Amino acid sequence: MSGFLVVERVSAGYGLASVLRDVSLHVDKGEVVAVLGANGAGKTTLLRTIYGLIAPTSGRVVFEDADISGTPAHHIVSRRLAMVPEGGRLFTFMTVKENLELGAFNPSSRAETRRNLEEVLTLFPILAERGSQLAGSLSGGERQMCAIGRALMSHPKLLALDEPSAGLSPGMVEKVFDFIRSVVASRHLTILLVEQHVEDALEIANRAYVIERGEIVKTGTGDALMQDQDIQRAYMGL
């Protein structure tokens, strides 16, 4: 199987608890690919496996033709894969600006860090206003923007977002999706998006995978899955 990111028949879990079973998916360059599924289905575990936080028990993860299965997370970052973890995981006792600077791919290159910071602040002007504020005092939506901004500071080729709209009010959810759209348009990024807001996710995704109890049970284009009656019943309340 060829592709930009290829997950090939991966099984993984925690100790003796197996979570992912024989999961295969691929993401091509420039695509937005969504991963949908209920609570506990294994979405975060899938991202953790791709990002080297969990080693697969079988199968492999290939990025730009290199086998990266089980590669330590800090090496993954240098391959320019970035992730916005569930809940953002900001350093709450550091300022917004400090959080952003921590995301820099190459902190020794000040010029590059400054340029990345300018770009991120242009994309999310609110973060410039809040630069010296402690990250822990941001609103939920601002926190997500800061977490996305921090991930963008490493100039990633592939950005994974783990439920970026979780816990946000409907207005804020719209804002976060608007930001994702603008990032896609302005940065030509490849995105792997885990979401529970299924309609919004399918609207911006080229393709999506549905995961149930650790297995991929369905895949298709965003449009096709939007029309799929099983998906509508299970995830859209229609």
Residues near ligand ATP (CB under 6 A) are: 14, 17, 19, 37, 39-45, 86
CB of 83 to ligand ATP, least distance (A): 13
- Strands 215-221 and 207-212, sheet pairing: antiparallel
Q: Is 10:23 a contact under the CB 8 Å cutoff? A: yes
Residue 19 interacts with, from Mg ion, ligand ATP, none (CB under 5-8 Å by kind): ligand ATP
- Strands 158-162 and 17-27, sheet pairing: unpaired
CB of 208 to ligand ATP, least distance (A): 14
Nearest Cα neighbor of 38 from 230, 163, 226, 212 is 212
Sign of CA dihedral 81, 87, 89, 90: positive
Largest CA distance in the chain: 52
Residue nearer to ligand ATP on the CB measure, 48 or 150: 48
Residue 85 interacts with, from Mg ion, ligand ATP, none (CB under 5-8 Å by kind): none
CB of 61 to ligand ATP, least distance (A): 16
CB of 194 to ligand ATP, least distance (A): 7
CB of 142 to ligand ATP, least distance (A): 22
What is the length of the chain?
238
The residue within the footprint of Mg ion, chosen from 11, 18, 24, 44 (CB under 5 A), is: 44
Residue nearer to ligand ATP on the CB measure, 17 or 111: 17
Residue nearer to ligand ATP on the CB measure, 116 or 165: 165
**Upper half-sphere CA count for residue 78 (Cβ side, 13 Å):** 7
Tokens 């290939």 locate to 62
* Residues lying near Mg ion in the complex (CB under 5 A): 43-44
